[in-house]
Amino acid sequence: MKEAKEKPPAREHTLLGVQWQLTSDGAWASPGTERVRKVTEAIRDCLRRGLCSTPVAAKLAGKLAFVCSGLFGKAGQALLRAVYKRQHSGPGGDAPLSAALRASFLLLLELLPRLRPRFVPTLTRALRYKAAVLYADAFLTLHDQRMCANQWARQGPPLHELRNLTNGWGAVFFGATGPGTHIADGMFVQGLHLLAIVCFVDNVAAERALARGSSKNAGLSWLIGAFWIWAAEKSWQVHFQRVTSNSDEISRGQFDIAQALGCRWIEPDFNKAWPVLLRLQQTPVSLDQWNFQQLATKLQATDTAL
Question: Is 161 in the same domain as 210?
Answer: yes
Condensed to tens digits (0 to 9), the pLDDT of residues 155-191 reads 666 656 666 666 566 667 776 554 333 333 333 344 4
**Residue 110 covered by a domain:** yes
**Residue 4 covered by a domain:** no
Question: Is 218 in the same domain as 197?
Answer: yes
Condensed to tens digits (0 to 9), the pLDDT of residues 242-253 reads 877 655 666 666
**Residue 18 covered by a domain:** no
How much of the chain exceeds pLDDT 90, in percent?
A: 18
Higher pLDDT, 71 or 6: 6
Q: Identify the CATH number of the domain in which residue 241 sits.
A: 3.30.420
Structural domain range at position 88: 30-115
Question: Is 131 in the same domain as 184?
Answer: yes
Cα separation, 167 vs 183, whole angstroms:
14
**Residue 103 covered by a domain:** yes
pLDDT at site 206: 82
Question: Is 111 in the same domain as 194?
Answer: no
pLDDT at site 186: 34
Question: Is 106 in the same domain as 231?
Answer: no
Question: Is 176 in the same domain as 286?
Answer: yes
- pTM score: 0.78
Q: How many domains in the chain?
A: 2
Question: Is 53 in the same domain as 185?
Answer: no
Return mean pLDDT, the chain: 78
Question: Is 168 in the same domain as 291?
Answer: yes
pLDDT at site 190: 40
pLDDT at site 47: 96
pLDDT at site 59: 92
Question: Is 182 in the same domain as 296?
Answer: yes
